[in-house]
Amino acid sequence: MSDLMILCKTDDVKEGAPISISPENFPMLAVYEYDGEYFVTDNTCTHSMAVLTDGYQDDAEIECPFHGGAFSIKTGEATAAPCVLPINTYQVTLVNGNICIPAVSG
């Protein structure tokens, strides 16, 4: 099993209130709850650098605070114009109430 990095506790994240985390060696990340599951994506809009956690979670989508673009928090796919390029998503593993993603080596 690859090494995991703890981002936060599940209790730290509520549906509709994603949080921003800036771990070492990663871009700024967004952590979401949706329907009892947790998801992690990059937290920077691919349209023009807005911080997605400053926007609005609408079910399984995050709406950018600028220009009305949106992304799927499950797949990272752009779901509303003007966004076209996807955001990265990260495989989430829950360990003892912690939300973890694969650590980057090196």
3-state helix/strand/coil string of 46-93? CCCCCEHHHCEEECCEEECCCCCCEEECCCCCEEECCCCCCCCEECCE
Q: How far is the CB of 45 from ligand FES (least distance, A)?
A: 3
Q: How many residues lie near ligand FES (CB under 6 A)?
A: 10
How is residue 83 written in tokens? 């966004």
Q: How far apart are alpha carbons 77 and 71 in whole angstroms?
A: 5
| Single residue of 47, 57, 87, 101 touching ligand FES by CB under 6 A | 47
Choice between 8 and 55, CB closer to ligand FES: 55
64 binds ligand FES (CB under 6 A): yes
51 binds ligand FES (CB under 6 A): no
Q: List binders of ligand FES among 10-39 (CB under 6 A).
A: none
